[in-house]
Chain A
Amino acid sequence: MGKKICWAIIFLTVALNVVMLQWAIESYLGHEFEKLYQFSIVALLSSFIALIAFLKWRRLEYSQ
C-alpha cells in the first residue's frame, strides 16, 4: 500500500465520517436508535481505518 493510497483512504474516511455524523444526529433527534447505533459503528470503524492508514503512511514517509 503506497503513500497515495493512504492519502486517498484518509480523505475517504473523512467524507464518510462527516456523513455518518450527520445521519447519527438526525437519527438521534428522530429517536431512531437502531440506526443511530449502526451509524456510530460505521463511523468508529472508519476512524480505525483512518488511523491505520495514517500509521502506515507515517512509516512510509519517515523511512526514506
Chain B
Amino acid sequence: MKDNNRKSKRNQTGSNDELVNLVNNVNRKEDLDLNRRAFLKATAGASVALGLATIPFSVHAMIGDFEDKENRVGIVKLSELPKGSSITFNYPTDHDPALLVHTKSGELKAYNSACTHLMCPVFYEKEEEVLLCPCHKGYFELNNGQPLAGPPQRELPLIETEVTNGIVYAVDRRYRHG
C-alpha cells in the first residue's frame, strides 16, 4: 500500500524522485536545435555563404585601380652598387618597398620586399644568395623570387629593371612570373 502511494507521486511536478530526473529531458532545446535537419540547413547555408564570399574580391577587382602603369623610376647608379650588395627603394609607389640586388654573378634582381606571408620586409642574405624574411624564417629564391622555405606560399612581385647610361631603372612590375 505504501509502495503504491509512492509510485503515484513519482511523476508529480516538483517530485524529488530519481525516476523523474531520469525521464526529464533537460537538453530538450539542444535536441531541437542540433539535429540532422538543422545540420543540413547550416551546411547548405555555409555553401551559399562561401560562394557569395568570392563576390567582394571580384567587385573590388572590377572597380579598383590595379593597373600597373608604365612607370620608369631611377633607383641607383650601377657603380654605387657593388656585386653582392643590395639597396632598398620604393616601386611603383612610395608605399611599395622594394629591394634591388646586385648578385655575386653580376645580375640585377629586383622584387617588392614585402613578404607574401605577412608583409614583413625581406632582406638579401649575401652568404647564401637568398632572400630572407626574418619574421617567420621565410626564404625566397634570389633568381626568381619563388618561396623556398617557411610559411610564404606565393612569389615576390618581380620588378623589371633596365640599365641606361649607368643608372638602374625600375620599369615594370609583375605579380605572377613563372
Does B bind A? yes
CB-defined contacts of B37 to chain A, threshold 8 Å: 61
Query: Considering the chains assembled together, what is the distance between the CA atoms of A57 and B57 in angstroms?
Result: 31
Contact (Cβ within 8 A) A40 B57:
yes
Q: How large is the interface on B (under 10, 10 to 19, 20 to 34, 35 or more residues)?
A: 20 to 34
Q: Measured between C-beta atoms, what is the minimum distance from A35 to chain B in Å? A: 10
Closest CB in chain B relative to A58 CB, distance in Å:
8
Inter-subunit contact B50/A47 (CB<8 Å): yes
Q: What size tier do the contact residues of chain A reach?
A: 20 to 34
Q: Which residues of B contact A (CB under 8 A)?
A: 37, 40-41, 43-44, 46-48, 50-55, 57-58, 60-61, 66, 116, 154, 175-176
| 13 further interface pairs, Cβ-Cβ under 8 Å (given A14-B43, A31-B176, A32-B176) | A7-B40, A24-B57, A25-B57, A28-B60, A28-B61, A31-B66, A36-B58, A40-B55, A43-B50, A43-B53, A47-B48, A51-B44, A54-B44
